[in-house]
Structure 1
């Protein structure tokens, strides 16, 4: 737990963070029937950066009550999605650089990073 004057500063900084303010606004929208979004906009506009569309969707999803099994499946789906994106980006870079199977073999036998290995 954060205590004392330093702790108060951490809490003040956290409450000024745009992501925190966006999260509170979304949470209140979902769970508080008396929430006034127009009045809340004044606070939201004074904070830092907004949540991304993915963050908003995930917060909406996390507001739902799901079983542990469903949560594991959601995590698996998200992991698979980002793993596939990473592979696609790696393939794109591989093709742009014109790397070959020989380069992959060379890379697997060194601790050097690809940008050092192939830019010599």
Structure 2
């Protein structure tokens, strides 16, 4: 992964702190979550119920699916509370000079 792999998303100030926001990029739904000056990007579909995770609540370093209460770690995409048992993809994010950039290659080679 090189710096050239990252695409500009938005100014950091466009992402509300502690909330999830949905964005469609190249037909891929991504949930962006800002925690202070750090931004996380996850696949925006619960692996249990196929519900948009961006409609859920952010607590500490997790994103909760509003339908059945599964939570996913923002850093790894791994479920931390059932009923979900399958991780969701996470994507590399960089914040440079107050701007958010995303690499569409999932972390750890996940598809």
Q: If the TM-score is normalised by the length of the shorter chain, which range does it land in?
A: under 0.3
When normalised by structure 2's length, the TM-score is 0.22
Q: How high is the TM-score relative to the length of structure 1?
A: 0.21
| Structure with greater strand share of residues | 2
Higher helix content, 1 or 2:
1
Q: Point out the structure with max Rg over C-alpha.
A: 1
Could you say which structure has the greater relative contact order, defined with CA pairs below 8 angstroms and 6 or more residues apart?
Answer: 2
